[in-house]
Amino acid sequence: RDSLWNFSIVDLAALLIRRPNEDDLLLRYDDLIEEWSAIRGEENITALLNVSRARKYIDFLETMEVERWLGPNQSAAAQALLSPALTLHLRTRVVSNEGEELGTKTRILEVAPISPSPNNKFFYGRVAGDPDYFVLSLESYQRLTLPLVETN
């Protein structure tokens, strides 16, 4: 299994989690003071954010592995990803070798089930700008869709 990407929580600026029929969840993180904020739709819900779960979520994103790479010409994957079940916008700080902040970089991950069956065990994925599709396991998808906010 191969790592999907390379980033560190130290460089995390923001994470937008988008799922169909849900308001977007925007998480921001300041590594210097280890402080999180959370906005769902237009509402600040920082008080409801499960910080421990958010930290584990980012830890998982840092080390996430794909089951296998499929290459660029995958019509079934392209079709499935027209309606993603999950889209993540990961914004990281870009820092020079001297430690100077140069701006931010956004990576967009889209994930969709391979099959509409309730017994589906695998998911197609793709990072915007990368021509290659990949397969994620059900376990990885479940970890990507864990609730990070406490419900009342």
From CA 137, how far away is CA 13, in angstroms rounded?
A: 27
CB atoms near residue 4 (< 10 Å): 21
Quote the DSSP letter at residue 49: B
- What amino acid occupies position 47? A
**What pLDDT is stored for residue 1 in this prediction?**
65
From CA 119, how far away is CA 121, in angstroms rounded?
A: 6
**What pLDDT is stored for residue 10 in this prediction?**
80
Say how many residues make up the chain. Answer: 152
- Segment 139-147 mean pLDDT: 94
Confidence of residue 82 (pLDDT cuts 50, 70, 90): very high
pLDDT 10s digits, 89-131: 999 888 888 878 888 999 999 999 999 888 889 999 999 988 9
pLDDT 10s digits, 45-71: 999 999 999 999 999 998 899 999 998
CA of 34: how far to CAs of 27, 29, 44, 55, 63, in Å? 13, 7, 18, 10, 20
